[in-house]
Amino acid sequence: MSGPGAAIFGCAGPWLGEAERAFFADAQPWGFILFARNIGDPAQLARLTGDLRHAVGRDAPVLIDQEGGRVQRMWAPHWRQWLPPLDQMARTRDLDRAARAMFLRYRLIADELTAVGIDVNCAPTADLARPDTHPFLRNRCFGEDTASVVTGARAAAEGLLAGGVLPVVKHLPGHGRARVDSHFSLPAVNAAPDELNASDFEPFRALADLPLAMTAHIVFTAFDPSLPATQSPRMVETIRRDIGFQGVLMSDDLSMQALAGSVGERAAASVAAGCDLVLHCNGDLAEMEAVAAAAGGMSAEAVAKGEAALALRQRRCPLDMDAAEAELDELLDGEVYAQG
């Protein structure tokens, strides 16, 4: 293989096994993603991220989901526990304060991530929250209207970038109307194109300049009545042309049960639809082997987009941690962190 493989893989536990090490050396995934099963304390985590990069012989990106609220993989006592994004947005009195508070939050998160060798965060979630949005997603959103979502998500992305961490905006082209959890079954959205363009797609259009994005495992029946966005050439065309996202597009996790077929078939369909990368998270070695074989290598265009994204890791700016925490505490009236 002349370039990176078109996949991002997890690993099984808190250290890298020899079989995994050999597989990664051969498969050369573009990057890696970590979960709670991989995380003990800061020293162990820094060793693991170093071992992953050493296995592929390059400064490969290491991803994590550190949104805050329920979806964060690094927890107390070693790391801060954040309010869900929707809850934090509700604690600010206007969008200017909300933007500053969200920037500071994700700038602090970026410092925690880079300290242990993590340089990509699968955040922000730019889905529009609705009264009927499934609970697995609702409080991970930044608001129920486009202005709130764009303000919060843009500030989160800029906070991460200022700390040398790449944001991944998700879930294109919008997950807020889904009434079932795509981890377990396939949602379908029946809204008309005009309605989606005027609402769900709008936050992603405003954030289309961000370097990385993740698809939604959702069928949008008005565009493609049978295939989820991740595997639909028509929906990927909509993401690229109508929404305008031109950066690195990755699938959501291939292990999620919204998708049909074997993991290899899921990977092949996602790449064929136009995803630059496929994401496989559960750390199962046999499944990773199948995904690597099916996904193949990144296209030359995808490699170039990936290199442009990774160059943004150098944007890291200094931070006075104490001052940032004090300002955030003031903006949120002393209610910055989740309890317990």
Tokens matching residue 88:
């934090």
**Rounded distance, CA 72 to CA 149, Å?**
20
**Rounded distance, CA 64 to CA 117, Å?**
11
**Are the beta carbons of 110 and 162 closer than 8 angstroms?**
yes
Active site residue 252: yes
Closest of 183, 241, 187 to residue 65, by C-alpha: 183
**Are the beta carbons of 274 and 236 closer than 8 angstroms?**
yes
Amino acid at site 75: W
**Rounded distance, CA 105 to CA 107, Å?**
5
**Rounded distance, CA 92 to CA 111, Å?**
23
Rounded to 5 degrees, φ, ψ at 337 are -110, 155
Active-site annotation holder among 252, 253, 276, 280: 252
Active-site annotation holder among 132, 183, 209, 333: 183
Host H or E run for residue 249: strand 248-253
Tokens matching residue 63:
């991803």
Closest of 73, 186, 190, 90 to residue 138, by C-alpha: 90
Active site residue 175: no
**Rounded distance, CA 119 to CA 207, Å?**
20
Tokens matching residue 33:
């993603």
**Rounded distance, CA 147 to CA 150, Å?**
5
Residues annotated as catalytic are 183, 252
